[in-house]
Amino acid sequence: MQAVLDAVVEPRRREILRLVRRTELPAGAIAAQFGDVSRPAISQHLRVLRDAGLLVERREGTRRLYRTRPAGLGELRAFLEEFWDTRLEALRQEAEQEQRSRDHEQTERPERRGGKRGRRG
Amino acid sequence: MQAVLDAVVEPRRREILRLVRRTELPAGAIAAQFGDVSRPAISQHLRVLRDAGLLVERREGTRRLYRTRPAGLGELRAFLEEFWDTRLEALRQEAEQEQRSRDHEQTERPERRGGKRGRRG
DNA sequence: CACTTACGTAAGCCGTCTCTTACAATAGAC
DNA sequence: GTCTATTGTAAGAGACGGCTTACGTAAGTG
């Protein structure tokens, strides 16, 4: 997953993903979209994206056609959803809290701002 | 936005975001969570996260309490949603196509990203 | 065979990132 | 004032990433 993040954080690689998201394109056509970077540079970017599972490659004669792999973006998306989504953690914490409130009848609410009790395991 | 991505792609910084997502913590306590990295290193990570708008800092005496800034993660999330979501781009492309059919002209897309045409040197 | 097209790969340059150690700055206790 | 606690900052080392030029590889043409 870290490889996916490293791949996506590069602006040109994101642009490549945009280019071949709907239609596959040969490497040369992709490189032609970048006027300020050489073709080998794009080739290296393509390798990074492919190794990260974000692109699929299909050979046709001497050309190599690339296209975004939807599953790759899906995995990335799922990872990030889980990362910043409080719901999962909230559910977990609520479960723990419920468990605790069954043991102790004392109702505690550490969600208040400036919680002094930072006891965390 | 690139600064936000650069900040998030670092594993330790993501871990920091996790740590202070629900409760604020002083810098020292955050650094104490990382046994393999020195405290100044964490301090620098905190700076990167704060500059990217992902953390807020609150001073209390000599301590500095950090906490995740929800709006920061929200912006990042919105950016990524737009990135891999085809709907927005589809709408945009349709709009462009409609615009072109009104101009009835040979559209040549002179928009360049870098603007520079020549090679580096 | 030679020649061209399309593309990846190797080696190296150079900037940037992350870490460390050493030092500075601020707030409080005495 | 001195001393301590907590934190940021400076400077440099080492690793890494992205780029370029030069070369290698594979498929097609004549």
- pLDDT attached to residue A117: 27
Q: How confident is the model at residue B83 (pLDDT cuts 50, 70, 90)?
A: confident
**What sign does the dihedral A112-A115-A120-B5 (CA atoms) show?**
positive
Q: Nearest 5 degrees, angle CA B39-CA B13-CA A97?
A: 100
Mean pLDDT over A23-50 rounds to 97
Summarised one tens digit per residue, pLDDT across range A52-74 is: 999 999 999 999 999 999 899 88
- pLDDT attached to residue A19: 95
Contacts of A110 in chain B (CB under 8 A): 23
- pLDDT attached to residue A59: 96
**pLDDT higher for B94 or B68?**
B68
Share of chain B above pLDDT 90, in %: 58
In the block, residue with structure tokens 């990167």: B48
Residue A115 contacts B, CB cutoff 8 Å: yes
Instruction: Name the nearest CA neighbour of A46 among A60, A56, A61.
Output: A56
Q: How confident is the model at residue A115 (pLDDT cuts 50, 70, 90)?
A: very low
Task: Estimate in Å the CA A51 to C1' D27 gap, whole number.
Answer: 24
Task: Estimate in Å the CA B41 to C1' D13 gap, whole number.
Answer: 15
- pLDDT attached to residue B40: 98
Would you call A54 exposed, middle or buried from its count of C-beta atoms within 10 A (0-12, 13-18, 19+)? buried
DSSP chain A: -HHHHHHHTSHHHHHHHHHTTTS-EEHHHHHHT-TTS-HHHHHHHHHHHHHTTSEEEEEETTEEEEEE-HHHHHHHHHHHHHHH-HHHHHHHHHHHHHHHHHH------TTSTT-S-----
Q: In this model, does residue B26 exceed pLDDT 70?
A: yes
Testing the interface with B: which of A83, A87, A88 to mutate, by most B Cβ within 10 A? A83
The reply to whether the predicted model has a pTM over 0.85 is: no
- pLDDT attached to residue A116: 27
Q: How confident is the model at residue B105 (pLDDT cuts 50, 70, 90)?
A: very low
- pLDDT attached to residue B73: 87
Nearest to B112 among A5, A35, A111 (CB): A35
